[in-house]
Amino acid sequence: MKLQIYNLSKTYSNGVQALKNVSLTIEKGMFGLLGQNGAGKSTLMRTIATLQDPDTGDIEFNGINVLKKPEDLRKTLGYLPQEFGVYPNVTAEELLHHIADMKGIVHKGERKDSVEALLQKVNLYDVRKKKLDGYSGGMKQRFGIAQALLGNPQLIIVDEPTAGLDPMERNRFYNLLSELGENSVVILSTHIVEDVSTLCTDMAIIGNGKVMLTGKPNEIEEAIRGKLYEVPIRKEELHEYQEKYKVISQRFFAGRLMITVMADELPSGEFDVKVPSLEDAYFKILSEN
């Protein structure tokens, strides 16, 4: 089971080049696509989901030429877009039955079993008869995953699924997403580094419409081990340190500004060695582009 993306490019009518020669190979499991807002992630997800065509390039999934036979992919696709709307005055149970019917699950008994199983899976069974306008943001996201899983898709795309969720709902969502990659190709598109480091075994960083880096999160972290140093400074000293060192990130900690710099050796005695994280690797890539 494999998704292969070959040299995708896309320029919109306003002149914005959203994708620039993007190529990726994505195997079964959870794959993280990490990038800032506007990096091209949603354009790539919509193109894979057959909602728009690229200017150039090709996509294949399990022998399906996605651009030539989009209807074949749609039969095995589950998609949770970034902006997921629901009909507010229907219940979760009613809407899932409707979506299941549209996905071709026409046998009433099979549809009932499938809907009930998914509502249990996303922990919404007890509120299945509640109208969707009464759901919290996290509950709506879990409903979104339920509709994406109807029909047992082999390719699942979730675009910015945890944005706006509180920590408890995000944790629930992590637990739900972590199960999905066992039997499917799952693409998690996000600007939140924690989403990728928590869930994904493989990843790519995308920016300005281009793939900047691919690999496994732990290997990407290890590549910068021994090259990161941090020091607390006064805010007014930042410019001075930026001129003297390669500052890749800054954050406030206990009321002081903490900067992270990249160097081949300890810059000076005031710095401490920093254990690398995926966030550090991400900031490094962004600082170089």
Q: Count structural domains, the chain.
A: 2
The yes-or-no verdict on residue 238 having pLDDT over 90 is yes
- Domain of 135, CATH number, reads 3.40.50.300
Question: Are 189 and 48 within one domain?
Answer: yes
Question: Are 76 and 191 within one domain?
Answer: yes
Question: Are 201 and 231 within one domain?
Answer: no
* Mean pLDDT for all residues in the chain: 91
Question: Are 9 and 59 within one domain?
Answer: yes
Q: What's the pLDDT at 246?
A: 95
Question: Are 252 and 193 within one domain?
Answer: no
Question: Are 249 and 129 within one domain?
Answer: no
Pairing verdict, β 256-262 and 228-233:
antiparallel
Question: Are 252 and 196 within one domain?
Answer: no
The yes-or-no verdict on residue 84 having pLDDT over 90 is no
Question: Are 199 and 143 within one domain?
Answer: yes
Q: Domain ends where: 193, 215, 237?
A: 215
Question: Are 103 and 32 within one domain?
Answer: yes
Least confident of 29-33, 95-99, 129-133, 181-185: 181-185
The yes-or-no verdict on residue 26 having pLDDT over 80 is yes
Q: What's the pLDDT at 60?
A: 97
Domain range for residue 265? Answer: 222-287
* Cβ partners under 8 Å of residue 211, min gap 6: 22, 23, 24, 204, 205
Angle between helices 108-121 and 92-102 (to 10 degrees): 130
Q: What's the pLDDT at 166?
A: 83
> pLDDT tens, 105-144?
878 888 999 999 999 988 899 999 999 989 988 888 888 8
Phi, psi of 226, deg, nearest 5: 85, 5
> pLDDT tens, 154-213?
999 998 888 777 888 888 888 888 888 888 999 999 999 999 998 999 999 999 999 999
Q: Among 21, 16, 57, which residue's Cα sits nearest to residue 38?
A: 16
Question: Are 132 and 270 within one domain?
Answer: no
